[in-house]
């Protein structure tokens, strides 16, 4: 579910002319400008064989305090398409983009409804700009920018569509690696020098004890500095994460004599070569920095990543599942035969899930609402992976909160394991060290499966997709 404060954004949408009608000759020159390296990387990958996009911040600079040169201002004026994050990150672009120029299409990614955008943790009227640090947003950004390029340069739409499939496959592989490979890193708690990792925290359960400074130029508060020093001294954290390119004037005062691990993230990709591979390299680099900083055991991570790599990736048209007998939340028997003759949306989760499951079920419900009459051709199911606690009675109270058509399914432990294996769903019980064994969590696959009327797999929707984006993709399959 996208959390978005509209205060000031509607004005911004008008002010920055985010949706202009593009003009680009099918065979003519098509000039694209990107503000920062992660965005430029995905555009460069999608535009292979077409043109090379221009990168504004092509040195070791960050957006904070940056000033455009006259040559860069001219590049903006000559561009057919400009892609930036938004005023929360690139304040230096606000004034240049106020100018209304013909033949220019300007896209602020923070305003794209398909992306999962979080509010700033300290100011409700601002958005957190580091959305690309959730690899699911990376996948959605690939699709968003593909649509933008096809609309702005329709004569080369077939090239953008072809490149999209290749780029998406690589990004999906990286996303699976992070999903499985990060599990071994959950034991450490960190202090963030700057608040750049909210998306990574939510996606991969990074435990952040404290944030010293929201972002430059705001200095570290003296009280917060003392609190951080005390947390380090008392052993509450074992890792301090800084950001490449951002100043750390209090670092020595904070760490001197403590022995705490310090890791330097590179969320802007300043230490990487700009180009199509930068985004993948950036995400892997940051993950490796965090792993080393929290003293995660490499064999655990390698085994988890290997598990992700060894998992058979589902292909469209593949038959999955098998024979089963489950009980729905009304006490009726449900078998594999009940999944035939209509499209099915399957989500595996559990009722005690604190955040991911409710968000995914709400997304699925809202997407169905947006489909209107087309939704009658789809039956949504919520299949528990926690049969020890999720009884029929519990499911009967839980599923009506989301959608009247949602069916909750419960099976025995053995049947649940069999069904999960057949649908290639992974889950495991997680008990906090020293915690109550009855208050466990379930670490699990969070995708939504679309199954055809013949029982064959069609596609998966990654966790974090917006209801609008899910509805759009479902409509493509139904029409």
Whether residue 433 sits in one domain with residue 301: no
Say how many domains are in the chain.
3
Please state the three-class secondary structure of the chain as a single string: CCCCCCCCHHHHHHHCCCCCCCCCCCCCCCCEEECCHHHHHHHHHHCCCCCCCEECCCCCCCCCCCCCCHHHHHHHHHCCEEEECCCCCCHHHCCHHHCCCCCCEEEEHHHCCCCCCCECCCCCCCECCCHHHCHHHHHHHHHHHHHHHHHHCHHHHHHHHHHHHHHHHHHHHHHHHHHHHHHHHCCCEEEEEECCCHHHHHHHCCEEEEEEECCCCCCCCHHHHHHHHHHHHCCCCCEEEEECCCCCCCHHHHHCCCCCEEEEECCCCCCCCCCCCHHHHHHHHHHHHHHHHCCCCHHHHHHHHHHHHHCCCCCCCCECCCCCEEEECCCCEEEHHHHCCCEEEEEEECCCCCCHHHHHHHHHHHHHHHHHHHHHHEEEEEEECCCCCCCHHHHHHHHHHCCCCCEEEECCHHHHHHHHHHCCCCEEEECCCCCCCCCCEEEECCCEEEECCCCEEEEEECCCCCHHHHHHHHHHHHC
**Claim to verify: residue 97 and residue 208 sit in the same structural domain:** no
Report the C-alpha gap between 435 and 440 in whole angstroms. Answer: 8
Domain for residue 126, yes or no? no
Q: Is the domain of 91 the same as that of 149?
A: yes
Question: Which domain CATH number covers 404?
Answer: 3.40.30.10
Give the confidence band of 183 by pLDDT, cuts at 50, 70, 90.
low
pLDDT recorded at residue 447: 87
Q: What is the CATH number of the domain that holds 200?
A: 3.40.50.1980
**Is 124 part of any domain?**
no
- The region of weakest confidence among 226-230, 254-258, 299-303 is 299-303
pLDDT the model gives residue 469? 85
Neighbours of 104 (CB within 10 A): 22
Could you give the CA distance from residue 462 to residue 135 in angstroms, rounded to a whole number?
10
What is the per-residue pLDDT for 415?
Answer: 92
Kindly state whether residue 177 falls inside one of the protein's structural domains.
no
The answer as to whether 93 is a domain residue is: yes
| Residue 103 belongs to a domain | yes
Residues 6+ apart with CB under 8 A from 145: 42, 43, 46, 83
Indicate whether 197 belongs to any domain: yes
Q: What is the pLDDT of residues 269-286, one digit of tens each?
A: 999 999 999 999 999 999
Examine the pLDDT at 467 and tell me if it is beyond 90. no
- CA dist 87 and 73 (Å) reads 17
Whether residue 152 sits in one domain with residue 191: no
Domain identity same for 299 and 350: no
Q: Beta strands 207-213 and 333-335: pairing type?
A: unpaired
pLDDT at 165: 86
Residues 303 and 412 in one domain: no
- Whether residue 353 is annotated as binding a ligand: the answer is yes
Domain housing 351: 325-473
List, for residues 319-359, the tens digit of each pLDDT value. 677 888 999 999 999 999 999 999 999 999 999 988 789 88
Query: How much of the chain, in percent, has pLDDT values that exceed 70?
Result: 85
Do 199 and 142 belong to one domain? no
Contacts of 337 (CB under 8 A, 6+ apart): none
Mean pLDDT (the chain) is 85
Answer yes or no: do 229 and 110 share one domain: no
Judged on CB neighbours under 10 Å (0-12, 13-18, 19+), 256 is exposed
How do residues 227-238 score in pLDDT, each as one tens digit?
Answer: 999 999 888 888
pLDDT at 37 > cutoff 50: yes
Do both 455 and 337 map to the same domain?
A: yes
213 plus 84 within the same structural domain: no
Q: Within 13 A of 237's CA, how many CA atoms are on the CB side? A: 27
Q: Is residue 128 part of a domain?
A: no
Give the tens place of pLDDT for each residue, 374-416. Answer: 999 999 999 999 999 999 999 999 999 998 999 999 999 999 9
Q: Going by C-beta distance under 8 Å and a sequence separation of 6 or more, which residues neighbour residue 4?
A: 117, 119, 127
Give domain status of residue 81, yes or no: yes
Alpha-carbon span 337 to 332, nearest angstrom: 14
Contact 242, 266 (CB under 8 A): no
Are 152 and 220 in a shared domain?
no
Q: What per-residue confidence (pLDDT) applies to 351?
A: 93
Q: Closest Cα to residue 289, out of 185, 199, 381?
A: 185
- 3-state SS, 7-70, equals CCHHHHHHHCCCCCCCCCCCCCCCCEEECCHHHHHHHHHHCCCCCCCEECCCCCCCCCCCCCCH
Same domain, 13 and 156: yes
pLDDT number for residue 1: 33
Q: pLDDT band for 26, please (50, 70, 90 cuts).
A: very low
**How many Cα atoms are found within 13 Å in the side-chain-facing hemisphere of 359?**
16
């Amino acid at each position: 579910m996208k959390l978005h404060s509209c205060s000031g954004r509607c004005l911004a949408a008008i002010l920055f002319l985010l949706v202009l009608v593009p003009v680009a000759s099918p065979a003519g020159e098509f000039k694209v400008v990107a503000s920062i390296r992660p965005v430029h990387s995905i555009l460069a990958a999608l535009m292979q064989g077409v043109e090379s996009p221009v990168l504004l911040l092509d040195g070791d600079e960050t957006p904070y305090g940056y000033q455009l040169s006259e040559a860069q201002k001219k590049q903006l004026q000559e561009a057919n398409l400009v892609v930036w994050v938004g005023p929360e990150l690139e304040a230096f672009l606000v004034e240049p983009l106020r100018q209304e120029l013909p033949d220019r299409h300007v896209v602020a990614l923070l305003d794209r409804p398909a992306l999962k955008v979080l509010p700033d943790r300290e100011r409700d009227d601002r958005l957190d700009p580091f959305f690309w640090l959730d690899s699911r947003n990376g996948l959605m950004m690939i699709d968003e920018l593909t649509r933008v390029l096809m609309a702005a340069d329709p004569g080369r739409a077939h090239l953008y569509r072809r490149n999209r499939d290749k780029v998406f496959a690589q990004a999906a592989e990286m996303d699976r690696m992070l999903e499985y490979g990060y599990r071994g890193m959950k034991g450490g708690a960190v202090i963030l020098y700057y608040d750049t990792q909210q998306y990574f925290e939510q996606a991969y359960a990074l435990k952040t004890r404290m944030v010293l400074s929201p972002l430059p130029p705001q200095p570290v508060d003296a009280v917060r500095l003392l609190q951080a020093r005390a947390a380090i001294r008392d052993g509450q954290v074992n890792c301090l994460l800084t950001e490449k390119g951002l100043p750390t004037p209090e670092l020595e005062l904070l760490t001197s004599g403590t022995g705490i691990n310090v890791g330097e993230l590179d969320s802007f990709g300043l230490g990487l070569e700009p180009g199509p591979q930068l985004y993948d390299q950036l995400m892997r680099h940051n993950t490796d920095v965090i792993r080393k900083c929290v003293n995660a055991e490499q064999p655990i991570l390698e085994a988890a990543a290997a598990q992700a790599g060894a998992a058979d990736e589902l292909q469209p048209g593949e038959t999955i599942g098998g024979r089963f007998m489950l009980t729905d939340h009304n006490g009726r028997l449900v078998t594999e035969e009940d999944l035939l003759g209509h499209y099915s949306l399957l989500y595996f989760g559990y009722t005690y899930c604190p955040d991911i499951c409710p968000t995914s079920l709400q997304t699925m419900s809202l997407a169905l609402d947006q489909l209107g009459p087309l939704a009658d051709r789809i039956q949504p199911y919520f299949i528990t992976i926690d049969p020890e606690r999720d009884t029929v009675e519990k499911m009967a109270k839980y599923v009506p909160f989301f959608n009247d058509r949602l069916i909750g399914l419960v099976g025995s432990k053995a049947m649940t394991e069999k069904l999960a294996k057949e649908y290639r769903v992974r889950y495991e019980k997680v008990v906090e060290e020293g915690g109550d064994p009855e208050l466990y969590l379930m670490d699990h696959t969070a995708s939504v499966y679309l199954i055809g009327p013949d029982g064959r797999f069609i596609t998966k929707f990654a966790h974090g997709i917006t209801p609008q984006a899910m509805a759009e993709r479902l409509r493509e399959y139904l029409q």
